[in-house]
Amino acid sequence: MRAVIQRVTSGAIAIDKKERGRIGQGFVILLGIAPSDTDADIDWLVKKISALRVFDDAEGKMNLSIQDITGEILLVSQFTLFASSKKGNRPSFNFAADPSIAIPLYEKMISALEKALGKPIQTGVFGANMQIEIHNDGPVTILLDSKVRE
């Protein structure tokens, strides 16, 4: 799994010009799922995301986690995170999981993040054409890959 985590002051998601979700301070997370991903990848990512210290403390240092600030999460499925442009200029998405694999893992990720935060998170709709409003704070953008684990 790959997650692009953006620290935001706010974020929103719309489908067909209708707002589906909105958050205040927290993370907008774009999540890509590969065919080899499992529950272990979810567990690792959720632990990292919930403990990631990228929010400012009283001294202005990135020292607080999303849990510390009681922040919010907007999670968006993003199969294009597994795009390959090795051949030519038109990306291939062969490394992204088929929806039969990805949808159950996406739904488990939602549940795991809600459990870790102790509250509901906002989401997009898997496979939908979505418009995402991101007010990146910093900017702070972190890439996590459950297979690389750096």
pLDDT tens-place string over residues 137-149: 999 999 999 988 8
Range of the domain at 32: 2-145
Position 11 in a domain: yes
User: Any idea which residue has 């694999």 for tokens?
Assistant: 101
Assess if residue 150 is contained within a domain.
Answer: no
What span, in angstroms and rounded, lies between the C-alpha atoms of 140 and 98?
30
What residues pair up with 32 in beta bridges, in sequence order?
A: 2
Looking at the 3D structure of the chain, how many domains does it have?
1
Amino acid in position 122: Q
Cα 28 to Cα 73: distance, rounded to the nearest angstrom: 6
Rounded Cα gap, residues 122 and 99, in angstroms: 20
Answer yes or no: is 53 within a domain: yes
Catalytic residue among 6, 78, 122, 123: 78
User: In sequence order, which residues have a C-beta less than 8 Å from that of residue 110 and are 6 or more positions away?
Assistant: 75, 121, 123
Least confident stretch, 41-50, 65-74, 83-92, 107-116: 83-92
Asked if pLDDT for residue 16 goes beyond 90, the answer is yes
- 80 occurs within a structural domain: yes
8 pLDDT band, cuts 50/70/90, is very high
Tell me what pLDDT residue 113 has. Answer: 98
pLDDT digits (tens, 9 = 90+) for 35-73: 999 999 999 999 999 999 999 999 999 999 999 999 999
How much of the chain, in percent, has pLDDT values that exceed 70? 100
- What CATH number did the domain enclosing 31 receive? 3.50.80.10
Per-residue confidence (pLDDT) for residue 82, from 0 to 100 = 84
Q: Residue 42 is which amino acid? A: I
The yes-or-no answer on residue 6 being catalytic is no
Catalytic residue status for 79: yes
pTM: 0.93
Considering the candidates 6, 27, 55, 79, report the single residue annotated as catalytic: 79
Catalytic residue among 70, 80, 93, 131: 80
Q: What's residue 95's pLDDT?
A: 84
Question: Rounded CA gap, 108 and 124, in Å?
Answer: 14
Q: Residue 78 catalytic?
A: yes
